Amino acid sequence: MSPADRWQTRRELASARPFSQRHSAALSDSKLELTRSAAPWEWNMSRASGRNIVKQQLTLETRKKLYSTRRLLPLSKSLQFYWFEKNGQRIYTCHSSDIVNHEFGHAVLDGLRPYYFESILSQTAGFHEFLGDLTAILMAFRNNGFRESVIVESAGDLASGSLLSSLAQQFGDAVVGQPYLRSARNQLTMKDVARETATASGSQVLTGAMFDIIIALLGKYKQRQEDRLKADPTAKTSSLAQMFWFTIQRMQMMAIQPLDLLPPCDVTFRDYALAVLRAEQVVNPTDPNGCRAMMLDVFIKRGILDEAERAPVLAAAAVFDRPQLTILHSIDSIGASRGGAYRFVDDNRSDLFIPATADVVVAEIARANKHTTKARQMPDQIVVQYMG
């Protein structure tokens, strides 16, 4: 490269950097605000250890990257986005909202479950990719203009549309030669990807399952409106755009609240599916519209859960079954510090099925403030993560 070309490159980078950083930061702030929002669910992001779930710095690297074009670096608390060239055109990955939202999803999960990056399980790595993809889809769905485009393109049938189900169109076209990087509209099952080594392949099973739930959920809103009109032709109706919005609000609750119920390490797709069903039972115990049965059908069809699990999952039971503990501790003392949480766990080893000689580490403590499907605030929850 000649001196003139190098100078031109520096000028381009200098002019691109402010916009790129502002663009990436704005998208991430939007996602962080969504994560902290009180509606339809709320997380109090404070920790007893005194740090936040997400403490990160967005960094735009101005050097060419041949392989990893964007990544989350947990140790440096940074999201790094690079650029590449295709047919003489320079493409900045930080200009893609799908990619920025995807990487921010990684950052949120890393803040909630930092040990997932240390796992050797392919499904744990695949779950990280899944949450990044789901974050991009949910954030896209919150854009009013995008929802209107989806309505026009799909004529109200999400299963036939491609806008919403496809991620990172420009990036996918340049890197893998197709008009998207990954698609949520697929019929993959766990059996189909059993021999796949790429984590992204496995993640598409779970992404596809959650996209199926979005489609089914929208269908339930449509059916409920049809039933109301049959009972009362003068009943107030919602437009398709409004039902899309109701769907995404409801899906946020279904997809994000279960994260508190996941293990601190080595998560599997089955763990997440059961957490989704359990969280739905907590916030929607009567389930008049059969949402849990619908979600269970999807997970069984995808091979994430087995048919044998249907009966125990759907069996009528009390929402909360208080465990019998040997030594009681107050909620305030458990949530005050890791020391308090450790004393609670250590005093009740036998009740929590922890061997007497096993070392126990309290990984994290969080306080969660959530809402039901009727927007009623639930009691505060203290979430203690421990490993033995």
pLDDT at 388: 77
d(CA 212, CA 208): 6
Please classify residue 18 by burial: count the beta carbons closer than 10 Å to its beta carbon, then call 0-12 exposed, 13-18 middle and 19+ buried: exposed
3-state secondary structure of 59: strand
Give the DSSP per-residue string, 346-364: HHTTTTTT--TTS--EEEE
Q: CB within 8 A of 171, min separation 6: which ones?
A: 69, 91, 93, 96, 98, 99, 181
H or E element in which residue 210 lies? helix 199-231
Q: Residue 338 pLDDT more than 70?
A: yes
Residue with tokens 């789901």: 134
Q: How far apart are CA 25 and CA 74, in angstroms?
A: 17
The pTM is what? Answer: 0.80
For the record, the structure tokens of 1 come out as 């490269």
- Identify the band that residue 77 occupies on the pLDDT scale cut at 50, 70 and 90: low
Label residue 307 by pLDDT band (50, 70, 90): very high
Quick check: 334 pLDDT over 70? yes
Residue 150 amino acid letter: V
Per the listing, tokens 């019998």 go with: 324
Question: What's the farthest any 2 CA atoms get from each other in the chain?
Answer: 76
Phi, psi at residue 95, to the nearest 5°? -85, -10
Give backbone dihedrals phi and psi of 294, rounded to 5 degrees, phi first: -65, -45
The mean pLDDT of the chain is 76
Domains, the chain, ranges and CATH? 93-314 (1.10.390), 331-387 (no CATH)
Mean pLDDT of 28-38: 53
For position 180, what pLDDT does the model report?
45
Q: Measuring CA to CA, which residue among 95, 98, 28, 24 is closest to residue 59?
A: 24
Given a cut of 80, is residue 57 above it in pLDDT?
A: no
